[in-house]
Amino acid sequence: MKHLIVILLAALLLGCTAQGRIQTDRPAAAEQTAQTVYGTQTAQPTSDPKAPPMLFARSDGELTSLLRGSYSWTYPNPDGTTAGVDACGMHPLEAAAYMDTLALHGRTLLLGFAVGGAEPDTLQVRVWDAQYAGDADSYEQNFTWLPTEPIGNETRVTLPRSMDGILEVRARWEGRGDCSYCLMLAADPDAEPPDSVPFTCEAERTYAGAETDGKPTVRVLHAPEPGCGHGAAFFAEQELLEVSFLAPSGSFSYDVKEILMDGNETGVVVNCRIPEVGTSDVCYWTMQIALPTGTVQGDPLLYWNILPISEICN
């Protein structure tokens, strides 16, 4: 899963400056033709070194810029000293009126930074359903972390389905700072939804002995292995998709919502239930998903639905 980048959980609130300045203005460079700014190696660098680089998204032939929200940024002065700026932006759910809208073609999009802008060290992408726009107080924790894959100088983002949504990209540059970007998404009315595949799942969690770098591990078993809990009779007609990961709290609970198939692509949608008050201990989860033989194609994509307990109860 070398290209799979999945972040289980991150801070849900955006930072503010001491002055409380609201950052909702679009960078002046966004007025230029997008093709000049992004994806053209011969173009002159357009990124302002005193702020995070501009970010663009494209789907098929359409390309638009993302709104730059909250950020913290350090930059060098001509005299060799450094300076920094912290800008406070609206929560993405409250900033819809300031965003551009990207019309999806299918359920994927590509992200790319402006020519001259440094590539971030980490990139996290999440999406809210558009119906939550304007109500961050109630729905800021009802989102889905999306899988990303680097493709050349771009990053491919895949949604479980084409949807009307609010996308947030959280980028971090080691030693420089971080930035939140956001964009409205419009569903492709002609996109065929993925097929939902029947499955059974067994989940186990342990609280000790977990050795992991924090990234989920995904593998497919086609034959018995020691400790897998299934014999030759099981694998005669089924395969086992195993997902293992470290949870940041023992109070969180997980289950598989659905398995999606779209051509040669397999998606695993995982629900994460978060209580209002949790514990600080960590635990290790292993999910074994039984599927008909030949279901999994390529490297499965993981989607993480973050759901507060109150939402589940309602």
For residue range 187-218, what is the model confidence (pLDDT) as tens digits? 999 999 999 999 999 998 887 555 555 688 89
Residue 131 pLDDT exceeds 70? yes
Euclidean distance between CA atoms 238 and 295, whole angstroms = 9
Confidence of residue 117 (pLDDT cuts 50, 70, 90): confident
Residue 233 pLDDT exceeds 70? yes
Residue 62 corresponds to which amino acid? E
Q: Using the 8-state DSSP alphabet, how is residue 97 labeled?
A: G
Residue 20 pLDDT exceeds 60? no
Q: Which residue has the tokens 């924090």?
A: 214
Residue 117 corresponds to which amino acid? G
Beta strands 154-158 and 165-173, pairing class: unpaired
Question: Among candidates 275, 274, 262, which has minimal Cα distance to 306?
Answer: 274
Question: Among candidates 167, 85, 98, which has minimal Cα distance to 127?
Answer: 167
The DSSP-derived string for 188-216 is: -TTPPPPEEEP-EEEEEEESS-----SS-
Q: Using the 8-state DSSP alphabet, how is residue 5 labeled?
A: B
Confidence of residue 99 (pLDDT cuts 50, 70, 90): very high
- pLDDT score, position 274: 87
Euclidean distance between CA atoms 271 and 108, whole angstroms = 21
Residue 9 pLDDT exceeds 50? no
| Contact predicate 72/140, CB 8 Å | no
